Amino acid sequence: MQASTTSTTPVVLTAKALLLDMDGTIVNSDAVVERCWRDWARAHGLDPHEAMKVVHGRQGYATMALLLPDRPMELNHADNAVMLARETADTEGVEPVEGAPEFMAALGALPHALVTSADDALATARMAAADLPMPEVKVTAECVGASKPDPEGFLKGAAELGVDPADCVVFEDSAAGIAAGRAAGMRVIGVGPRAAAHGPTLHVEDLTSVRVAPDPSGSIRLTVHTSTA
């Protein structure tokens, strides 16, 4: 398979607000996620490799429901609380996605929100471990009744920023997150290797391929060097 490269002709988008997923998009937490979820999968007699195909992007209870469809949901919620506590305490290997510090600095006071399947404690721990600024507006697990791929989180983020969904651009890395952004009626920039296969509007290898600046119209101007096969 030919390796991905970066195109020489950038794509320019304008948006009124950016909605950012956290894990895999601006924070690389794969090491922790794999440690915790592989242990959980083995403890429940599941193939860890197969489990890892569905854990990204969803709240933990929703992942558990997919992997153990006949299991009572209250057990999933109980296990999810334990999982969140373990993940919050484990920040070994958590680091910013390449280009994320510059990307977040460029956003500055421009309208943006974090929309993550992590709860507030986990989001706070991982953003701090990656040394990234926490957006003023954040939609965490406690704020929604449905996990991605449901669009509720992104729609809530847009509403809190006072921006129409069609004027938002989502940054996501997972199948569930990309589906949620598209279901919300938003354009989606897929970030990293997981994103390319799931139909984002544009795809980049990491955030070094995105430039953010205020547009004279009052919008946000995104210059995106897309990855091509």
What tens digit of pLDDT does each residue of 70-127 get? 999 999 999 999 999 999 999 999 999 999 999 999 999 999 999 999 999 999 999 9
For residues 207 and 175, give the distance between their C-alpha atoms in angstroms, rounded to a whole number.
18
In the residue annotation, 30 being an active-site residue is answered as no
Structure confidence at residue 121 (pLDDT): 97
Catalytic one of 23, 30, 173, 206: 23
Structure confidence at residue 6 (pLDDT): 47
For residues 7 and 143, give the distance between their C-alpha atoms in angstroms, rounded to a whole number.
38
Catalytic one of 21, 79, 150, 206: 21
Structure confidence at residue 228 (pLDDT): 56
pTM: 0.90
Percent with pLDDT over 90 in the chain: 90
**Who contacts 147 (Cβ-Cβ below 8 Å, separation ≥6)?**
58, 59, 61, 62, 117, 141, 176
Structure confidence at residue 9 (pLDDT): 79
For the stretch 46-70, what's the b/e string if a residue is b when 16 or more beta carbons lie within 10 angstroms of its beta carbon? eeeeebeebbbbbbbbbbbbebeee
Q: Are 76 and 58 in contact (CB under 8 A)?
A: no
Structure confidence at residue 2 (pLDDT): 37
Per run of 10 residues, the mean pLDDT along the chain (length 229 residues) is 52 97 97 93 94 89 94 95 94 97 96 97 97 98 96 98 98 96 98 94 97 95 82
In the residue annotation, 23 being an active-site residue is answered as yes
Structure confidence at residue 8 (pLDDT): 56
